[in-house]
Amino acid sequence: MEFDKAKKYDYLIVGAGLFGATFAYLATQCGKSCLVIDKRNHIGGNCYTENVDGINIHKYGAHIFHTSNARVWKFVNKFAKFNDFVNSPKAYFKGKYFSLPFNMNTFHELWGVETSEEAQAKIAEQRLDIDEPKNLEEQALKLVGKDVYETLIKGYTEKQWGRDCKDLPAFIIKRLPLRFEYNNNYFNDVYQGIPVGGYTRMIEKMLAGADVRLGVDFAEIKDYQHDLARKTVYSGMIDEYFDFCLGKLQYRTLRFETERVDEKDFQASAVVNYTGRDVPYTRIIDHKRFEFGEQDFSIVTKEYPSEWKDGMEPYYPINNEENNALAKKYIELASKEQNVLFGGRLGTYSYLDMDKVIASAMDIADKELYDETV
């Protein structure tokens, strides 16, 4: 790809996902010129949605927007109208469905208990009594006890991460609420919804003031990045930026199998998690449910996690001790890199939700665009 080197932009933004698009919007609002590139042939990063016969397909897995950050919520609502979808996935284990997150509905389905006292007593009987859980298994056993762990957590987590629960960090399981009330809302956040018309359209609006070039691999222009722009804002893999010079970080990737089925009600919720090891995929998404579609057919996707290898799409950083230690070294290198800002899930090697990605892009933009001393 040839670029007009006569024009020097204020910012070269690598990655047209939420991080890059948020930064691009805030910079262009301040009168800065931005060139946004992406390796893929579309914008939106992993939030990308594609309209197929009136259904917005979440091409890289289910993305449900949720936040308690009022500034972030106000920001995304500039670019899209959000519906009132509430994520309440079901879990399937050995022929039975269970409610998520772990709440009174789940405990009733599992043990037949009716009151929160009964549920708490049941958990108290089987929970692990330790102060500081060292890993995900200990954390889960401490939180909810053996039955919930074995039915709803162990199999799913080991498929998702390809590692034993004893070798995974405790924080992953803390993402899920635990409630002693009948409430299947998967999130505790104040705001939640799906952008009507899909994420792609929303991100397109964020990028409206920038020049966007797709199908461009940063590796091919890295050597002359500073000829193209005064500064680079990089949201790709941090280890790849440095040519893996300190070694490779590990990531999980996903494979998706999507099909159209001639059934109006393929499954009774947008997301069904398959928590048993006997099923090879982790979840099935029924896309039309995110926007309450009335079509008499469904488009559904099975999600298969696996270890990331060269050439695959990285989705999740694997934040165990070993990887975090290596990531810290890359982050040190990044802090010394002149005129390059790093951000996003891949650029910081952290398991950030969409709202956290936007909030971090705002923080960086605030410093960069308004604080001349930085």
Q: Which residues lie near ligand UDP (CB under 6 A)?
A: 91, 100, 152-153, 156-157, 160, 172-173, 175-176, 273, 275
Of the pair 25, 274, the CB lying nearest ligand UDP is at 274
Q: Tokens 């280890």 appear where?
A: 239
303 given a catalytic annotation: yes
Exactly one of 283, 345, 349, 368 is catalytic; which is it? 283
Of the pair 14, 153, the CB lying nearest ligand UDP is at 153
Least distance to ligand UDP from the beta carbon of 275, Å? 5
283 given a catalytic annotation: yes
Of the pair 305, 340, the CB lying nearest ligand UDP is at 305
Q: Enter the tokens of residue 240.
A: 């790849």
252 given a catalytic annotation: yes
179 given a catalytic annotation: yes
Q: Tokens 């401490």 appear where?
A: 142
Q: Report the relative pairing of strands 90-93 and 316-317 from DSSP bridges.
A: unpaired
Least distance to ligand UDP from the beta carbon of 345, Å? 10
Any alpha helices (H) in 218-317, and if so which ranges?
218-221, 225-228, 238-241
Exactly one of 179, 234, 345, 349 is catalytic; which is it? 179
DSSP string, 34-92: EEEEESSSSSSGGG-EEEETTEEEETTS---EEES-HHHHHHHTTT--B-------EEE
The DSSP secondary-structure symbol of 370 reads I
Q: Tell how far CA 153 is from the center of its chain.
A: 19
Phi–psi pair at 103, nearest 5 degrees = -145, -175
351 given a catalytic annotation: yes
Least distance to ligand UDP from the beta carbon of 355, Å? 13
Of the pair 173, 359, the CB lying nearest ligand UDP is at 173
Q: Which residues of 283-305 are buried (b: 16+ CB within 10 A; e: fewer)?
A: bbbbbbbbbebeeebbbbbbbeb
Least distance to ligand UDP from the beta carbon of 373, Å? 37
Exactly one of 38, 291, 303, 368 is catalytic; which is it? 303
10 given a catalytic annotation: no
Least distance to ligand UDP from the beta carbon of 357, Å? 12
Of the pair 170, 340, the CB lying nearest ligand UDP is at 170
Question: Catalytic site residues?
Answer: 175, 179, 252, 283, 303, 351, 353
